[in-house]
Chain A
């Protein structure tokens, strides 16, 4: 079966795109899929750092595109998961080194190699973002429950609609159930009400995410972390399984509301 190409994007920076890519890649590989993740943020690479593969980089995506190496040579195998690969971004070049056609061509080649290709899009709606969505079959939009992040997600969804990229799915990252309860944070309902796209996962705020990222071992490995569980659930949903949403705060009924939201399309 040809691979599914997923682009993870957000508009706003710092909402957790790279973390989401790393965790979904790990979670999918743990489920037994062959996964290639690509750092699309050329000039500002960091997916390699979060995956703990920085010291293994020899060739990068620009080398592949400009023909200095074969595709296989730029695919770095993960330390723990033999079915997980990373194609890193170039650190010393910029977005203009890659075109949308290059990306589409690369995806064509990768599709026969694996089950999932995950592309980490740069922030913004400029060239790097266009390149990252060019070869995508499906786009996941990451946002935080913050007004500015949601505003940018809305803009990105508008562009995806205009590009006829099919309906995007939403990952709501860093939700703090206590703040939602005290009405100091946008609730999942508020966000979905505005964005009106399918919700594929809610990831609770969890300090383990930062600790894990700094260690180069994504939180998806952590069996006890709720954020890790949330990412593993998203991975299962990407594989077509139906998984109920996490019980983030049973007592105040947020759980019920999230379940209701998950039921609506």
Chain B
């Protein structure tokens, strides 16, 4: 039991539990977690669980197994946080949250282009297929396509070196200076800050395009041209 305790740390959140796992092989962590749950079934019954797996690299089958086992015990796993990009991707694929939302600040921050300059970007070197959801508190760059049914929500700009056919939201916490660029801009839906556009049509042949909010406050897109 001593060992179990050192592997699994449980903390109460406002709306559920946060379990942090120490560095150990996944089999041990997994077993320790289930043992912990089975030791106090009444405590865990009906819990909303967020799991912090630190640097653990997890694939779909491992997370699905855990999710099923937890759900058999009446526990709802809604978030998996990790420093490993693989694990984050897995969690996103399964529709799990990868961050516990922090309480909103009282005052909405005023953004400027300069603000964005200091932030980091998430680089994704792959095609985002249906069911993938990427949320990032900075810019997102994709080298690949964004297929219908995939979503990107970024606080900064979104740049797609490929076809954009899914849903994207740039400047997701109110930054109207954010932009969305794609080689073929034909999203299911495109949002920048609080503006929504659903009428963007693909061009034949596709042309690089950038969407942003203009001075009048309307969301519009412009085809890139070498002349300007």
Number of A residues whose C-beta is below 8 Å from B? 18
- Give the chain A neighbours of B127 by CB distance below 8 A: 196
Complexed CA–CA distance, A162 and B149 (Å): 17
**Interface residue from A100, A147, A155, A196 paired with B61 (Cβ < 8 Å):** A100
Closest to A194 in B: B147
| A130 touching B64, Cβ below 8 Å | yes
| A154 touching B129, Cβ below 8 Å | yes
A159 within 8 A of B: yes
| A155 touching B59, Cβ below 8 Å | no
B130 within 8 A of A: yes
| A154 touching B149, Cβ below 8 Å | yes
A31 within 8 A of B: no
Interface of A is mostly: helix
Contact residues, B117-153 vs A (CB, 8 A):
127, 129-132, 145, 147-149
| B93 touching A159, Cβ below 8 Å | yes
A97-127 vs B, Cβ < 8 Å mask (1 yes, 0 no)? 0001000000000000000000000000001
Whole-angstrom distance between the Cβ of B213 and the nearest chain A Cβ:
29
A252 within 8 A of B: no
Interface of B is mostly: loop
Closest to A164 in B: B59
A14 within 8 A of B: no
- Give the chain B neighbours of A196 by CB distance below 8 A: 127, 145
- Give the chain A neighbours of B59 by CB distance below 8 A: 162-164
B56 within 8 A of A: no
Closest to B147 in A: A154
Complexed CA–CA distance, A163 and B156 (Å): 30
B68 within 8 A of A: yes
B82 within 8 A of A: no
Closest to B72 in A: A96
| B130 touching A154, Cβ below 8 Å | yes
B90 within 8 A of A: yes
Contact residues, A152-190 vs B (CB, 8 A):
152, 154-155, 157-159, 161-164
Whole-angstrom distance between the Cβ of B86 and the nearest chain A Cβ:
9
Contact residues, A120-145 vs B (CB, 8 A):
127, 130, 134
| A162 touching B90, Cβ below 8 Å | yes
B81-120 vs A, Cβ < 8 Å mask (1 yes, 0 no)? 0000000011001000000000000000000000000000
| A151 touching B64, Cβ below 8 Å | no
- Give the chain B neighbours of A157 by CB distance below 8 A: 129
Closest to B63 in A: A162
Complexed CA–CA distance, A196 and B163 (Å): 12
Complexed CA–CA distance, A164 and B57 (Å): 14
B60 within 8 A of A: yes
With contacts A130-B64, A159-B60, A162-B59 taken as known, whether A151 is within 8 angstroms of B93 at the C-beta atoms is no
With contacts A127-B68, A162-B89, A194-B147 taken as known, whether A151 is within 8 angstroms of B60 at the C-beta atoms is no
Residue ranges of B at the interface with A (Cβ–Cβ < 8 Å): 59-61, 64-65, 68, 89-90, 93, 127, 129-132, 145, 147-149, 165
> Can you list 5 residue pairs at the A/B interface with Cβ under 8 Å?
A100-B61, A151-B130, A154-B148, A158-B129, A158-B130
Give 13 A-B pairs besides A154-B149, A155-B149, A158-B131 with Cβ atoms closer than 8 angstroms.
A100-B65, A130-B61, A130-B64, A134-B61, A147-B148, A154-B130, A154-B131, A158-B93, A158-B130, A161-B129, A162-B89, A163-B61, A194-B148
